[in-house]
Amino acid sequence: MIKTMGAASASFTLYLPNPPTEIPPGMDLTRPDIAQLTELNGNHWRKIFTILAKLAAPNDNWREYRDQQLLKHAEQINFGDALEDRQGWHLVAGKASWQRLGFTDDMDQPHDMQPLDENGRIYIKDRIVLVPYPDYRQLPNQLIEQIRVRLHSPY
């Protein structure tokens, strides 16, 4: 099982519970081919890559960023059981990841974190952000924009 995909020195790390099921033999996972992974793994992964691109792109051109830059310089997707020990933003996606990484109790209440939105769907502490799973129903554009503003603002 793979532990990470993307840049080793990422400034944005997205934590997910499971990697793509189909990875071509010989693919360099430090610079993965997003189009090929999407083709092999379907719409679910297209959504994940699109949402990550919307969050990480330095401007509004997230499509070009997704297709040409995503996971090659500034981002990583991590499937492990611990936060990476590095500077940068850590986006922990979905309650399964929140629990696996020890951010919530049995009632799914985040420990020592502040809500970023009024409905308590996003929580933040320092450079760790607990976000819904990257799916359009759980993480619509309005929430993506709230997170994006925080990620791209001076810290």
* Residue 122: Cβ-neighbour burial (10 angstroms; 0-12, 13-18, 19+): buried
Q: How many domains does the chain have?
A: 1
Q: What is the model's pTM? A: 0.94
pLDDT of residue 153: 82
**Amino acid 107: pLDDT:** 64
- Identify any residues that bridge with 124 across adjacent strands, giving them in sequence order: 114, 129
Token pair recorded at residue 15? 């934590």
User: Per-residue confidence of the chain (155 residues) as pLDDT tens digits?
Assistant: 799 999 998 999 999 999 999 999 999 999 999 999 999 999 999 999 999 999 999 999 999 999 999 999 999 999 999 999 988 999 999 999 999 999 987 666 787 889 888 888 999 999 999 999 999 899 999 999 999 999 988 75
Range of the domain at 125: 4-151
